[in-house]
Structure 1
Amino acid sequence: MSEIGKEKEFREAMAAGKWRIQKSPSTDAYVYYPREIAPGTGADDLEWVEPSGLGTIYTYTVVNRRAEQGGPYNVIMVDLDEGPRMMSRLEGVENDAIEIGARVKARLSEIGGQPAVVFDLATGA
């Protein structure tokens, strides 16, 4: 399946080391995952903006795999400070130490050979 439109722009920016989300100037609302028009409003004036990268863990789960398959990993839902909620991973923390409500900071990494947004615990945020 080939990528088109905003999805392609999003992936190309990440490959270049830049994470962006969208914002509608007419509604002042932020949008994540990339869209052609804003959900709910239908605004078609979405622009790419650099997010703060800060957010709060809304919920999480741990996916258990056998050790030979890489072992368990976490999946977190993060409420970005800008408003959208996104799914990712929390790195640098044992899975049993993850706390709902913890402040996190995004960074680009790689998952499965592809650029991805992951989170670390935020310090002083």
Structure 2
Amino acid sequence: MTYGPARLLPGENIRITTNPDTEPFWEAARDGRLTACQCGNCGAFRMPPSPYCPECQSTKKEWPTLPGTATVFSFAICNKNPSTGEDYVYVPIVVDLDGAPGARLNANLTGCDADYVKIGMQVHVEWTPIADGWVLPNFRKVPA
């Protein structure tokens, strides 16, 4: 089966919720900055953000700006829009974030045919407007 180009899900149908642990991530995204929660005590990264560091149990958090590049850790190829059921090729991915050892992020991929997605592929962030004025980080294949 040939899938064709990976597309992003329409942003107007995507809604998020925030809480005190996740809001700094979403605020940075709104400003076009990719970040990850880093322990202010031991320096361990964690995504998703949580109230306590899993390494040292500290509640101190920092949000450093990351370079915006990543490596595909895992992916799936979907050929139906989950909201409407229409034929629609999208590729949800899990990426290892450059500059944040141990931090992984779920996102979607675009910029290549779904048939050619590979674990280990290099990608870079791009920003997709979504509902309620928020912005979603998605990733595009880095050109060879």
TM-score by length of 1: 0.80
Cα deviation digits, residues 33-83 of structure 1 (max 9, x gap): 222222243121111111122211112101121697351210111111222
Mapped pair 1:116 → 2:136: yes
The 8 Å contact of residues 79 and 87 in structure 2, kept in 1 or not, is answered as no
What CA distance in whole angstroms lies between the structure 2 residues aligned with 1:56 and 1:17?
Answer: 19
Q: Which aligned pairs between 1:11-90 and structure 2 lie closer than 5 A? A: 11-65=26-80, 69=86, 71-81=88-98, 82-83=100-101, 84-90=103-109
Aligned length: 124
CA RMSD of aligned residues (A): 2.7
The structure with more strand, counted as a fraction of residues: 1
Runs of 4+ deviating beyond 6 Å:
none
**Matches of 1:3 and 1:111 in 2, distance apart?**
14
Gaps of 5+ in 1: none
Higher relative contact order (CA 8 A, sep 6+): 2
| TM-score (normalizing by structure 2) | 0.71
User: Runs of 5+ in structure 2 lacking a partner?
Assistant: 1-15
Sequence identity (%):
22
